[in-house]
Amino acid sequence: MVASFIAIGDELLIGKVVDTNSVFIAQKLSELGIQVIRRWTVGDTNKEILYALGEASSCCDLVFITGGLGPTKDDITKKSLSEYFNVELVFSESNLQHLKEILSQRGIGVKEAHLTQCYIPSNAQLLNNKLGTALGLWMEHRGKLFISMPGVPDEMQYILMHEVIPRIRELKYGNCFLSKTFHTCGIGETDIAEKLEKYLHDYLSQISIAYLPSIAQVKFRISVFGDDEKSLRMLLNQCEEKVRLNMGHLIFGEDDTSISQELGFLLIKSGLTLGTVESCTGGEIASKITSISGSSSYYKGSIVCYATELKEKLLNIDSMLIEEYSVYSKEVAEAMVRHSIDMLNTDLVISSTGIAGPDGGTEKLKVGTIFIACGNKQRVRIKKLMLGKNRDRNIEAASILALNLAREWILEKS
Amino acid sequence: MVASFIAIGDELLIGKVVDTNSVFIAQKLSELGIQVIRRWTVGDTNKEILYALGEASSCCDLVFITGGLGPTKDDITKKSLSEYFNVELVFSESNLQHLKEILSQRGIGVKEAHLTQCYIPSNAQLLNNKLGTALGLWMEHRGKLFISMPGVPDEMQYILMHEVIPRIRELKYGNCFLSKTFHTCGIGETDIAEKLEKYLHDYLSQISIAYLPSIAQVKFRISVFGDDEKSLRMLLNQCEEKVRLNMGHLIFGEDDTSISQELGFLLIKSGLTLGTVESCTGGEIASKITSISGSSSYYKGSIVCYATELKEKLLNIDSMLIEEYSVYSKEVAEAMVRHSIDMLNTDLVISSTGIAGPDGGTEKLKVGTIFIACGNKQRVRIKKLMLGKNRDRNIEAASILALNLAREWILEKS
């Protein structure tokens, strides 16, 4: 049982919006054993939408569509759907009722532009959307299912999770597709591939491995596909065992996780509290840590001493030390940890200092030279990173590697 | 002259990676007046790649392809290209030379897996990639151009900017497509649409308007398309004039900008320095500010007092005040500003405190209740936000609205 996905919107083609919906939909479908096999991204014109509907229905059983359900003039998805199905657009009283409810929650009345949202293809069932005015649509046509949802990510997610997934479960679609994703930090794609081809040598013909590099991290996914869930699960378990046995702490987590999440688990498990003192990462380490719900149980806070003045004033770091070694040095990274641990009243502190770029490098210290440190008064681990010239990438890489350094520090300790 | 884009990679279909390449490519092409009209996302199989190549070449002149050029087994793009063009795969000595150089920079030797990267379709010209082992490919076939690049974003960006765009410029492709994007914060899509239909009433038949909502922000893009650049530019200017005249400070910037960028410009212009004191946003405001290169000229740092303990200890906020009004209150948000401005030694400070969620709400204070404040000792502006239950969205929205509050504070002052 396969699905395809049509993303509608000029904004997606012209490069003004990143399509995150496709990621969410694919993840949720893969949990049901449904594979997304193709995706089309087309503009807000009738011709383009009809092209994509035709292509999609010829290659799969389920067609997911996002975008073009709003109240503005470029929202023409419903018109195109009715043309493709050769059915009428009809005014839906339940849709109007929904519109009134949502708008009254926001304290505004129904405007004329909103009324166009109430016309739906006559073969459509409405899918409730608690978060916005645009309802989803569920349509059957020549044995295929078409599901149309708004493009606003949280509204699409609401409809998918509360309305679409339960209905699909009832239909009992789906072959068996299992996968497991492993996360690594600070090791390259080719090195991982070499290791896996060795450790998983006996399984390579029955599994597929994909490598998903991102900044400072590589994930790899082992997938198996077939009819018999039990034997597939056994195969996947055997692969996992080999991987864990041979790669140990190189793997920091699996499936939907992040380095912040895993560090959080480790802190909770070991009963330690954490603080941060950031210079070049400018709050990004703190932000990554606090993106995790429940982080307040182990994380206390950060001093972002972006200006050198604040390193001296707030942290009491000796200006002589800064002068002697430069503010971008392992000595200052270490002092940032030692001077803040009492202030923040935590068991360990992560620090960062360096040149994020793109400007600010010197002959001795190139752009991308960043020092990260982690520790307490007894033991500080420091790493010197030699990154590139891209500011965003450098901040992201240094933040992730700093979180990984804290993970290593705790694992070493225990 | 139109282009299309093929993104290759199981990881894109299965929802493990967000496709940001398409955004970058589309933006750069639109600057050349080239429109991307369709996009296909397909898996790492020969059949799927051949399907997309066939479809793409039947609807446009330029086909951009990313992914599948790496050294691992799922990288089969070159094989599929050569099959589609009906040409041989040949071993490229220059490719081997490049590989050796890149790998020696990384201090590693050429491994067998790397050698497969040296086979290229015989009709391909190589496009240099300073950042990685996978070179780009430039191929002509039946009057159409095919450009294949690696899927790793910074490598793709390097090849596009340094190799592809200059060559396309030489070909003088491209009709005239002009657009301008305006950024707003804290106002809804429907309200903006109503305003624009009024203010731009006389131009609506000649322009197209698209609305691009994201968290706490709505961008709208006015586009014009045709042959005569001069008259198109005039039309766009007239629209801009109307928009600026009627919407004033509701618009905080245009085209490729962000609220952090615009706040930075305003701080530089008014000669003011900025600090932040964050609770529920956990460093995200600081991170957004320091994501801007050059922010060190106006931004000094942040105290992220995530734990209540640190609000008392580092900021000297009276525990009685916290007890009386709760830590999530306008009184505490204001105290955070007043108590930190001397410590941070800045002209203004932004603060945040509230319940990001998804847990932690009480009967009196619902999840999503967040107070943001901005000011100095003389004048503090405070806003109470009533957001939703999604933690990430709440942190993002509060951070953006806090930056906008600072923008308003400065504009009010001057």
A41 in B contact zone (CB under 8 Å): yes
pLDDT tens-digit series, residues B307-330: 999 999 999 999 999 999 999 999
Q: Between chains, do A293 and B345 touch, taking CB under 8 Å as contact?
A: no
Averaged pLDDT, A186-204:
93
Q: Between chains, do B313 and A345 touch, taking CB under 8 Å as contact?
A: yes
Alpha helices by DSSP H, B58-115? 77-85, 93-105, 112-115
Q: What is the pLDDT of residue A147?
A: 97
Average pLDDT over chain B reads: 92
Instruction: Provide the 10 A C-beta neighbour count for residue A170.
Output: 8
pLDDT tens-digit series, residues B69-83: 988 777 899 999 999
Q: What is the pLDDT of residue B414?
A: 66
Q: Between chains, do B36 and A18 touch, taking CB under 8 Å as contact?
A: no
Confidence of residue B172 (pLDDT cuts 50, 70, 90): low
Compare CB distances from B13 to A26, A51, A306 and report the shortest one's residue.
A26
Instruction: Provide the 10 A C-beta neighbour count for residue A162.
Output: 14
Confidence of residue A33 (pLDDT cuts 50, 70, 90): confident
Averaged pLDDT, A4-15:
91
**Chain A residue numbers touching B194 (CB-CB < 8 A):** 111, 113
Residue B214's nearest CA partner among A240, A154, A314 is A154
pLDDT tens-digit series, residues B363-411: 889 999 999 999 999 999 999 999 988 899 999 999 999 999 999 999 9
Q: Which CATH architecture has domain B2-171?
A: 3-Layer(aba) Sandwich (3.40)
pTM assigned to the model: 0.73
Q: What is the CATH number of domain B176-254?
A: 3.30.70.2860
Q: What is the CATH number of domain A259-413?
A: 3.90.950.20
Compare CB distances from B39 to A40, A154, A343 and report the shortest one's residue.
A40
A3 in B contact zone (CB under 8 Å): no
Report the gap between the CA of B13 and the closest CA in chain A (Å): 6
User: In Å, how far are A155, A163, B199 from A128, measured between CA atoms?
Assistant: 10, 7, 34
Averaged pLDDT, B189-205:
93
- Residues 314 through 333 of chain A touching chain B, CB cutoff 8 Å: 314
Residue B174 pLDDT more than 60? no
* Amino acid sitting at position A309: E
B343 in A contact zone (CB under 8 Å): yes
Report the gap between the CA of A17 and the closest CA in chain B (Å): 7
pLDDT tens-digit series, residues A60-96: 999 999 999 988 777 899 999 999 999 999 999 999 9
Report the gap between the CA of A55 and the closest CA in chain B (Å): 10
- Residues 192 through 221 of chain A touching chain B, CB cutoff 8 Å: 193-194, 208-214, 219, 221
**Residue B282 backbone class (left: φ over 0; alpha: ψ -120 to 50; beta: rest):** left
Most confident of the ranges A172-181, B247-256, B401-410: B401-410
How far apart are the C-alpha atoms of A159 and A324, rounded to whole Å? Answer: 60
Q: Between chains, do B306 and A285 touch, taking CB under 8 Å as contact?
A: no
Confidence of residue B178 (pLDDT cuts 50, 70, 90): confident
Report the gap between the CA of B356 and the closest CA in chain A (Å): 9
Confidence of residue A173 (pLDDT cuts 50, 70, 90): low
The residues, any chain, with a CB within 8 Å of residue A50's CB and separated by 6 or more, are: A80, A83, A84
How far apart are the C-alpha atoms of A231 and A235, rounded to whole Å? Answer: 6
Confidence of residue A178 (pLDDT cuts 50, 70, 90): confident
DSSP class of residue B281 equals T
Residues in chain A: 414
A161 in B contact zone (CB under 8 Å): no
Q: Between chains, do A10 and B41 touch, taking CB under 8 Å as contact?
A: no
Residue B239's nearest CA partner among B203, B210, B211, B212 is B203
A66 touches A160 (CB < 8 A) = no
Q: What is the pLDDT of residue A172?
A: 59
Lowest model confidence (mean pLDDT) among A272-281, B27-36, B266-275: B27-36
Query: Which of the pair, B178 or B68, is modelled with greater confidence?
Result: B68
Confidence of residue B175 (pLDDT cuts 50, 70, 90): low
How remote is the C-alpha of B181 from its chain's centroid?
A: 14
Report the gap between the CA of A162 and the closest CA in chain B (Å): 16
Compare CB distances from B15 to A23, A284, A310 and report the shortest one's residue.
A23
- Please give the ipTM for the structure prediction: 0.71
B154 in A contact zone (CB under 8 Å): yes
Q: Between chains, do B39 and A36 touch, taking CB under 8 Å as contact?
A: no
Averaged pLDDT, B137-155:
94
A303 in B contact zone (CB under 8 Å): yes
Averaged pLDDT, B12-24:
88
Confidence of residue B173 (pLDDT cuts 50, 70, 90): low
Report the gap between the CA of A274 and the closest CA in chain B (Å): 11
Name the residue in chain B with its Cα closest to that of A276.
Answer: B304
Q: Between chains, do A301 and B304 touch, taking CB under 8 Å as contact?
A: yes
pLDDT tens-digit series, residues B88-128: 999 999 999 999 988 887 777 888 778 888 999 999 999 99
